Amino acid sequence: MLLLPFAIVAQTVAVPPNLILPNYDRLPVGQREGIEAGAFLARTNDAGANWYNPAGLGNSVETSLNAGANAYEWTKMGLEGFGTSEGRSRINTIGTLLSVAIGKGTIKSDEWRLGFSLARPIVWQPSSIDFAFSPIANQVVAYASTVDFNVMIPGVAIAYAPGGVRTGRLRIGAGLGMAITSLTQNQSISSRVNATTSASLAEQSFSAEGSTWQLQPSGGVQWDATSRVILGARVVAPGIRILGTSRLTLQTSQFTSPTSTDLVFRDDAATFDYKRPLEASAGAAYHANSVELELDVHYYGALASYELYASELPGTLTSMRDLRATSHRWTIRRSRSFVRWICRASPRAFP
């Protein structure tokens, strides 16, 4: 919901929800893995194991490379209401993975394997919205919105296979990634009324651009229960925040003759946080000469609502009546006893 500045001294300022926080399983990354819906936890045995299960590196004999942008996504963003609607669409690539498994020839040991990867599992870049309409006579409402949300995760992994690669039945792996989440939002709305004897203007604009860095430890295991059955499991710890800042700007104003109010806020180093939950998955695979089947189950820990943006810098509220101006300073704090600027995020799983 967007609050126009008719109550400009309200303690909470809200912006329209033009952002979806999707999970990492909307579209699987990788070549074979993407074709098989990402059910590759127990069978992964090449460079793709960097992402799906680091223990799978212990089953990779040769050095290998896995690279590709395996999907295109068509998104449509629309706005409806007041008897009108507006929407546009965009096509962009998602699910990028570049990974390397270092094996025989580079590593002399037959029990250890290393891996490196660069994954881009989330790309949310819907088309922009920019339109105007007249809900009633003499009034024009304009709204514009753009958003760009993406996650890039470079990482390293190591695997140990007691008994040797392709000969041992147990494989253990560990990985460490750096989840870099970037978010850019720009939104504005205005309402203009021109009557015969009076005029009024109310407008609000919001802009944010920032990134957050989080360490992402993970661990996995694979076990050849029989010559045809493989079991696998993987756990990813909640993200460990290293840093995160964002530029935040907000301007909201109202003019109705003979009075006007203007609220201005800017912070070039506001706190920005995007939380990643605990992840756990387990799978079982069956393979024969010409048939391979795998069933995986994924679990994601719950996250309570949290502050996506937060700042303690002051903003300025200016009021003017009959050409006499007064200026007020207000501070943005986490404490309930002060005026606050907080944008809360409630992560959910979207298909």
Tokens of 275: 């939380």
Q: What is the pLDDT of residues 121-148, one digit of tens each?
A: 888 887 788 888 887 788 888 888 888 8
Residue 107 contacts by C-beta under 8 Å, 6 or more apart in sequence?
Answer: 113, 114
Q: Are strands 112-124 and 139-160 parallel, antiparallel or unpaired?
A: antiparallel
pLDDT at 333 over 80: no
Band (159; pLDDT cuts 50, 70, 90): very high
Q: What is the pLDDT of residues 254-276, one digit of tens each?
A: 888 778 888 888 999 898 888 88
Average pLDDT, the chain: 80
Q: What is the pLDDT of residues 52-107, one digit of tens each?
A: 999 999 999 999 888 876 667 777 777 776 666 777 777 777 768 889 999 988 88
Tokens of 208: 């944010």
Q: What is the pLDDT of residue 19?
A: 57
Residues 302-309: what's their mean pLDDT? 84
What percent of the chain lies above the pLDDT cut of 70? 81
Neighbouring C-beta atoms of residue 135, cutoff 10 Å: 12
Most confident of 14-18, 69-73, 292-296, 346-350: 292-296
Please give the single-letter amino acid code of residue 89: S
Exposed, middle or buried: residue 92 (CB in 10 Å: 0-12, 13-18, 19+)? middle
All structural domains of the chain with their residue ranges: 5-345
Specify the 3-state DSSP secondary structure of 17: coil
pLDDT at 303 over 80: yes
Main-chain dihedrals φ then ψ at residue 316, nearest 5 degrees: -125, 125
Tokens of 311: 């700042």
d(CA 95, CA 68): 8
